[in-house]
Amino acid sequence: MSPRTNGKGVSEPDEEPRKGIQNLPVEISHDILARLPVSSLVQCRYVSRIWRQLSHEVSLLNMHLLRIGKKNPSLIFHCLDSAINQLHFLELSNPLCNNEIACKINIPFRTSMPDKILILDSCNGLLCISNEFRNDPYYIYNPFTRKYKELPLSRQFEQQRVEAGFGFDPIGNEYKLVKMVYYANPYTGPLPRPVYTCGTPNYPNSEVQICDISGNTWRSIGSIPHQFRRQSTEHLGSSKEIICLNGRLHWLKGSGRNFGYNDSNPRIISFDLSDEHFYEILKPDCGSLDKPGYLLLVLGGCLSAALYSKDGKVEVWVMKEYNVKESWIKEFDIEAHPRNIDVGLQRSPNFHVFYVHGIWANRVLHGISVRVLCYLENGDILLEYKDGKLASYNPGNGEITDLQFQGLPTRFNTIVHIGSLDWINEPQTTSTRIEDVET
């Protein structure tokens, strides 16, 4: 190393050459960092200024999100035991091991939400959070970067019922929150008494309200042609009645004679986040999807439906090619028959406790005892039971294995989460933004 002279005539060695990842081509640096779990990628931001700059680049975030979406998902657990707004996070390894520990996630805006929180959905590493009644304000939150954004207040009615969905518009390169508001007309004299269906008020008027997250503005696009169908058998604490896939929100059409169809033949409705129009997703001409009692979900990037029978059996249908009616197939049945019922337990007529494949589970009569969550990296399916137990189901041999993790709350609702460092205010470039990564 040749010496150099400073301003005082004293010889000094030349600067040390750059070493490590900062001396690699950007493409190779991104390829290395994109293989890390999101918790490790967060830690890389504190190694050096160069690493911090690398971790903010959009191309790395897109590459990381694509790769992490092909592995075991992360899980966020929302505690249901009390009004405490507490979340836990768990990164699943492959293979799964019982020494994995769930860590608490701080909610920086918790004090501004006195009611219990509700996680509407997770999209590309961002959570959409409201209070349990789906009222304003809504928050967009990345639990790893701890960045959050409070959305402005939307138009309110004196009597209203709100259903909301959150997702990403891949064409407009925009995250959107969509509120379907059913309300009593406040301008025509006395408020009419709402009609109740399954304990839920159905108001005569409606309005679709959309918030473009980056623009931070609300706008109305008119009334709603399709009534939302609130599940009377809703999984305890579950908000996944509206799901996002392929840039569309999906839910089941409303129930009851007031909405022009027989409840025994529910319909799947979608809302395109790009053109902001409603569509119907066609179902097979025959089979179980003509019956009530199922929930929509995403499995392996495909729109799916889990049909729940009274004996605890779960029938899973998958649309292999999106929006192609003939591609619906019954993928498998999950045998979850109740057994070993303890008749000596004190319980109400509508409450049953039973033993399912090594798992104590609580089931409301005609309700849902188990929820299908997602595929795991090894091809198994992750299940959540109502009492806060997790299990994996092997479609090949039908075996169900209990999963034990440390640090979980006693009762919880599970949100499948693809961890990312993405943020809505990060600079974006055309054609580099990826679409939703689904598990």
Sign of CA dihedral 421, 425, 431, 434: positive
pLDDT at residue 67 in the model: 75
pLDDT at residue 269 in the model: 93
DSSP output for 55-96 = HT-HHHHHHHHHHHTTSPPEEEEEE-SSS---EEEEE--SS-
DSSP output for 256-310 = SGGGTS-TTS--EEEEETTT--EEEE---SSSGGGSS-EEEEEETTEEEEEEE-T
pLDDT at residue 42 in the model: 73
Which is nearest to 240 in space by CA: 231, 63, 153?
231
Q: Within the chain, which residue ranges are assigned CATH 2.40.128? A: 116-281
What's phi and psi for 322, nearest 5 deg? Answer: -60, 130
pLDDT at residue 420 in the model: 83
Question: In DSSP terms, which residues pair with 400 in a beta bridge?
Answer: 393
pLDDT at residue 190 in the model: 41
Q: Which residue ranges in the chain fall short of pLDDT 70?
A: 1-22, 46, 55, 82-84, 186-202, 228-240, 254-264, 310-312, 336-368, 387, 425-439
Read off the pLDDT of residues 63-81 as tens digits, 9 standing for 90 and up: 777 777 777 888 999 887 7
Per CATH, the number for 116-281 is 2.40.128
pLDDT at residue 113 in the model: 79
pLDDT at residue 230 in the model: 57
pLDDT at residue 220 in the model: 95
Which is nearest to 36 in space by CA: 49, 23, 21?
21
Indicate the helix (H) or strand (E) that contains 128. strand 126-131
Q: Which tokens go with 330? A: 């019954």
